[in-house]
Amino acid sequence: MRYFFEDYAFDTDRRELQHGSSVVATTPQVFDLLGYLIRNRDRVVSKDDLVQAIWNGRIVSDAALTTRLNAVRSAIGDSGEAQRLIKTLPRKGFRFVGIVRESNKPSTAAVSGDPAGSPTPGLPIPNCPSIAILPFANLSSDPEQEYFADGIVEDITTALARFRGMFVIARNSSFTYKGRVVDVKQVGRELGVRYVLEGSVRKAGSRVRIAGQLIDAETGAHLWADSFDGALQDVFDLQDRVTSNVVGAIAPTLMLAEIKRAERKPTENLDAHDHYLRGLASVRLWTRDGNSRGLDYFRKAIQLDPHLAAAYAMAAWCYVRRKLHQWMDDPAAEIGEAKRLARQAVDLGQDRALPLCMGGYVLGLLERDFDESAALIDRSLAINPNSAYAWSLSAWVRIWRGEPDLAIEHAAKAERLSPLDPSMYSILAAAAYAHFLLHRYDVASSLAEQARRGNPNFVLGVYIAAASNALAGRIEVGQRAIAGALECDPGSRLSNLKNLAPFERPEHFTLFADGLRKAGLPD
């Protein structure tokens, strides 16, 4: 059996791990550990599972296990910090989260990216200039400046995405290539874009240099390359120059004036912007501690610049995540604060996509006013139609409002704009709910299973898997899903289901509750 993920091939018959045309040296134990994680990627495996499978039940110290896991991650270009392919779930275990393809065909050639040995089939190229902005290399002497380089890329991505004449891949998919040596032709195929922008950032004292190169992903030809130097306080102007040069290189007939109109400096206060970027880096760790640090950074950014709408929006979102994960210490006070921050974000960010989108969703979720929520997200998408995140949130809002057809359409747009999104499980789960409301239980259960593979702890995804399978007559499958949901959230009950699934239409809530009742969710 051969397993393919990213540009690696794991061959169990030849006991080889290949990266491109090279064989990666691994010890037998590291090879077996990686194989066990890949074969059991549909679930979280515990330390006891690993000890039993790899060490035949012998006593193994935590340090020894950590050392072997680090060696596995190193072999596949991952790390304990990034956890791009192997995720650690505190107090639960480990899970391989990469997208895997399987083949029973014998290995006859070097890894080409798919089981047949031919280039990976690509997504269709849009009929407009399409681009992916890859993570820029941090050339600063301080590795702590990584967040700054990532922030530069995020700002350039946002500026290009505002231009309606372009198709811009979402940041979440582009950043799956972070820390990897990539073939731009492969990137173009995997993301379905014609152009790729690479670059670097060097921050030294009060000076910044941003370098970029634009590449035709079909031919590999360099279309444009340049570097821009300036003082730190001019960083937004440098970003604007990169953006304008990219547009000028790939779409000379497009109106640069529209980009200039859309460009807005997020804040005049560079310290506030710095704290905002640090907050984004923290919350994207997707941990409780990262969420808490992010909230602290966003609050500090607000103190430094009380008009920074995006910081209010992200702070409100941090509170929502605390609510969804049951991390709140004082739910009533924290929910009240989240509403205040979200309202402030919307009031301050009348012409900004992120505050309108994020603030609108938080208000809808907490105030149960999904009409206002949908209107605010629609305004956000009018400003930035390339926001995969906004399309995803819009899909969820349409589900709660009882518009499943529209939810399917919006989820599909989110998936196309970010085909490698680490949060794809949320997009798939939204599509599953929409098909469920249309009584397409087999389609819903299939999508829910894909979502569950992406994140087995995403309770909304587990619930829709349980309900759709139960109503399709697969009661035992639904019961197993409910057991998983109760493991993630022991307090789950039909009586408090409205907190998690705020359907506006009574018939939709009744349908959902009926499916969960059949699957065994307690009253």
What confidence score (pLDDT) does residue 261 get? Answer: 42
Give 364-428 as a 3 state SS string. HHHHCCHHHHHHHHHHHHHHCCCCHHHHHHHHHHHHHHCCHHHHHHHHHHHHHHCCCCCCHHHHH
Residue 333, C-beta contacts closer than 8 angstroms, at least 6 positions apart: none
What's 301-308+319-519's CATH class? mainly alpha
Reading the chain (523 residues) residue by residue, the pLDDT tens digits are 888 887 788 988 888 888 766 678 787 888 999 999 999 988 889 988 898 888 887 777 777 788 888 889 888 988 777 788 898 888 889 999 887 877 765 544 444 444 444 444 567 888 778 889 999 888 887 777 788 888 888 888 887 887 776 889 988 888 888 877 778 888 898 898 888 989 888 887 888 888 888 888 888 888 878 888 888 777 777 777 777 677 666 654 443 434 444 444 556 677 888 888 889 888 877 788 889 999 999 999 999 999 999 999 999 999 998 887 778 889 899 999 999 999 999 999 888 888 999 999 999 999 999 999 999 999 999 888 888 889 999 999 999 999 999 999 999 999 988 888 888 899 999 999 999 999 999 999 999 988 888 888 788 899 999 999 999 999 999 999 998 888 877 778 888 888 889 999 999 999 999 999 999 999 8
For tokens 């809002």, the residue is 397
User: Domain 2-103 adopts which CATH fold?
Assistant: Arc Repressor Mutant, subunit A (1.10.10)
Q: Which CATH class is domain 130-265?
A: alpha beta
Q: What is the pLDDT of residue 52?
A: 87
C-alpha dihedral sign at 392, 393, 394, 397? positive
Retrieve residue 417's tokens: 């704009």
Q: Tell me the three state secondary structure of residue 197.
A: strand
pLDDT at 154: 84
For the entire predicted model, the pTM comes to 0.63
β-partners of residue 22 are: 19
**Element housing 275 (H / E):** helix 270-283
H or E element at residue 229: strand 222-231
The pLDDT, as a whole number, for residue 402 is 95
Count CB atoms within 10 A of the CB of residue 478. Answer: 25
Of 482, 483, 493, the C-alpha closest to 522 is 493
How far apart, in whole angstroms, are the C-alpha atoms of residue 424 and residue 59? 37
Please tell me the distance from the alpha carbon of residue 247 to that of residue 251, in angstroms, as a whole number: 5
For residue 201, give the 3-state DSSP assignment. strand
Q: Distances from the Cα of 40 to the Cαs of 33, 46, 360, in angstroms?
A: 11, 11, 39
Question: Rounded to an integer, what distance in angstroms lies between the CA atom of residue 379 and that of residue 364?
Answer: 15
Show me where the domains of the chain are located.
2-103, 130-265, 301-308+319-519
Q: Other CB atoms closer than 10 Å to residue 284's CB: what's the count?
A: 17
Sheet holding 101-103, edge to edge: 22-24, 16-19, 8-11, 2-5, 101-103
- Res 113: pLDDT: 42
Q: What is the pLDDT of residue 162?
A: 75
Q: What is the DSSP string of 326-366?
A: T--SSHHHHHHHHHHHHHHHHHH-TT-HHHHHHHHHHHHHH
Write out the two tokens for 67. 């050392």
